[in-house]
Amino acid sequence: MTQDNRPSASTRSFEEKYVRFRSPEGRAVARAALGTDLANGYTTKDQAAALAGHLGVGTGDRLLDLGAGRGWPGSFIAETTGCGLVCTDLPMEALLSAQENIGALELDASATVLVADGRMLPFGDGVFDAVCHADVLC
């Protein structure tokens, strides 16, 4: 967002990207290259697993994925560690996908999506045990 509350050029470009049709071939390429077709960046499944290990989150913890796009890598970390998850981003289209992707997983803890600007997060101190952001420049 810009200071006058209009979406910035980069936000608009992400909005357009998330709306665009993704072909089955494109998704297959992403799966082959990254190990997932949820990513809208370059973070591979192996890197997401390493990130989960570094964060050290598990059952009872709550993770914030900032700029989560379609829910990557937060949904993977929640799935593999059992932590709770909140995914934030700006484009609604991305978060609708994230919600669908999260809903398709059998997660142990609660997971939700929220439209929020990473520069003005609507959370108090101590709400999260860990934060991740993959390929995000706020």
Alpha helices in 20-123 (DSSP H): 24-34, 45-55, 74-81, 92-103
Stretch (H or E) spanning 19: helix 9-19
Cis peptide before 73 (omega within 30 of 0): yes
Q: Near ligand SAM by CB under 6 A, which window of 54-62, 86-94, 96-104, 106-114?
A: 86-94
Total residue count of the chain as it appears in this document: 138
Residue 76 is a binding residue for ligand SAM (CB under 6 A) = no
Least distance CB 86 / ligand SAM (angstroms) = 12
Least distance CB 88 / ligand SAM (angstroms) = 6
Residue 16 is a binding residue for ligand SAM (CB under 6 A) = no
- Pairing relationship of beta strands 130-132 and 111-115 according to DSSP bridges: unpaired
Could you say which of 64, 77, 91, 128 contacts ligand SAM (CB under 6 A)?
Answer: 91
- Record the tokens describing residue 123, joined without a space: 């959370």
Residue 89 is a binding residue for ligand SAM (CB under 6 A) = yes
- Record the tokens describing residue 75, joined without a space: 């949904």
Which of residues 60 and 97 has its CB atom nearest to ligand SAM in the complex? 97
Q: Which residues bind ligand SAM (CB under 6 A)?
A: 11, 14, 39-41, 43, 67-69, 72, 89-91, 94, 117-119, 134-136, 138
